[in-house]
Every structure is written in structure tokens, then in C-alpha cells.
A = this chain, B = another copy of it.
């Protein structure tokens, strides 16, 4: 499907014209067609097959989590601009009359909404650390969790690769420093194999997260230099600037220390994860193989729907 440098709306409009996505009436909130969902499900199952021998425990959160989990992750320190929290109406009938009057006058009526105890999820793995920590020390040969979540990041954009909500599927490892490095290396290989099976041209490069503010710039540089984050890059909505469709992250002991995760020898656990962007990989498939699933290469179809 077509794409143009610096104009992600060209690929978006092609997807809308082909009915692969439907305009949801707001930036980054497209509805997915049946064809899109069939491909997305195929990508999810391909990752699940890569993990067949991993003995990973499945933890599937709803698309929201307790606000205090968000507080504890420290996400608001590093990426405050991306997070979403949920507000609700807690008023009485008089308050409700004021709300309805605002609505009827075509005014902004959200001023009466109050912060609730719930937030959106910025990354799938955040839900798992507390779960694993509360079960006590992790075995020396480590533990793995499979988690998929609808994540929210507030960065409205015409780029279909930058949706407000998207599915991130991860395999998270908790264990020794060597175990975490082996997990990183395993997923570096797996994400390349996955891209090859799906016949998507790719490169793998060191990367950094979009930390907020001036101190954030220093954190980003350090992450890059230590090669703690490696991304699978594919040209999707832009033929010049590629999109990160999967990543492998080594957290060293940062998550272990934050969540009180230990290994059986009493040391702070190291963690690492392999993460697939289900919606971005699906978009990459449409970009490279066209809008008709039935016309995709036989090998790709076999990898998605064996």
C-alpha cells in the first residue's frame, strides 16, 4: 500500500479507503475491520507459538489499572505527557442538572468530572511486577510471564502507527542478571525471525524512550549508550523514517528494586522483556503485502494462520 515521506496521512488514507481501518471520529482512535483483526490475531498467535516452550504464566489485564500502580511505576516522572487517568461524575441530582445544562449549551461539561482511583495502562509489563513480587523470591532459573494489554499514550497524530490505544504483547523475565541477558538475546533473535517469517524488511537498532524534559535527555542518552533498548524497525507509514514494531528491553535491576523483586539468593532480581506492537506489526503487514489478506504471500499466510 502507498506511503509518502513525512506524510503519514497518505498511508492512513489508503487504509481508510480500502476499509482496513474505519475513521473513529478522533485522531488515533480508528476502528479495526475484520481483516485487520484477523491479521492482528495471527500476529498474537505467532508470538504465542514462539513462546510454546517457555512455560510462561499468562496474565491478561483489562485496559485499566489502579492509579496507585501508575504512581508506583514512576511513569509520571519520565513520561507525564503520555499517561491517561480516568475521571468520573460523583455528583448529586443538582450537579447532574448543571452537567446536562452545560451539555445542552454545547459547553465543555468535563469540569464536573473528578479524578477516580483508576488510570490507563502505559505499558503491558507494569501490571506484572507487583504480581510476581508478592509471591516471594523468584527461582534462580527465573520466571516468565506472558502479558498483553491495550496501552494508552496521549500523542494524537495522523500517523496510524501512533494510535492513542494499541495492543502490546510482552514476554517478561524475572531472575538473575545472566538470565535477563539471555532473555534479551533470545528475543533479539525471535523478533528477527518473526519479521523474516512475515516477509517484512527490517533492521534492529539501539533506541531510547521519549523521556520528558532536560533531565530526560540525559536518561535517554544513557539508555542508548548502554544498549538497554533494541528496536525492530520496519518502514510502515513512512518510506524514509522506519517505525519501531517490536523491542527488547533490559531493565537491569531497576524494576526489581522498585517492586521489591528478589531471586532465591536474596539478590535484587534483574528483569528483561520482549515486546511486540501488535497493531504496528499488523499495519506493517498491510503496508508491505496489500489490503487483501487472500493476496498475501503463501508463506506469510502460513505463519499467521497455520
Contact = CB atoms under 8 A, between A and B. Distances in A.
A87 B115 contact: yes
A305 interface: no
Contact of A88 (B61, B64, B81): B81
Contacts of A163: 62
Interface stretch (A6-14, A103-111, A260-268, A288-296): A103-111
Contacts of A63: 63, 150, 165
A60 interface: yes
Contact of A66 (B29, B111, B150): B29
Contact of A62 (B88, B130, B166): B166
A222 interface: no
A157 to B, nearest CB: 13
Interface residues on A, range: 35 or more
A175 interface: no
A76 B64 contact: no
Contacts of A131: 22, 31
Contact of A37 (B33, B60, B77, B150): B60
Contacts of A36: 60
Interface in A9-35: 22, 24-26, 29-34
A117 B25 CA distance: 11
Interface in A111-130: 111, 113, 115-118, 120, 127, 130
A84 interface: yes
Contact of A80 (B67, B68, B80, B96): B96
Nearest to A38: B58
Contacts of A84: 86-88, 116, 118
A234 B25 CA distance: 37
26 contacts: A22-B131, A24-B62, A24-B66, A25-B68, A26-B66, A29-B61, A29-B66, A29-B118, A31-B59, A34-B146, A36-B60, A62-B163, A62-B166, A63-B165, A76-B109, A77-B100, A77-B103, A83-B88, A84-B88, A84-B116, A85-B110, A86-B86, A86-B120, A96-B212, A111-B115, A118-B154
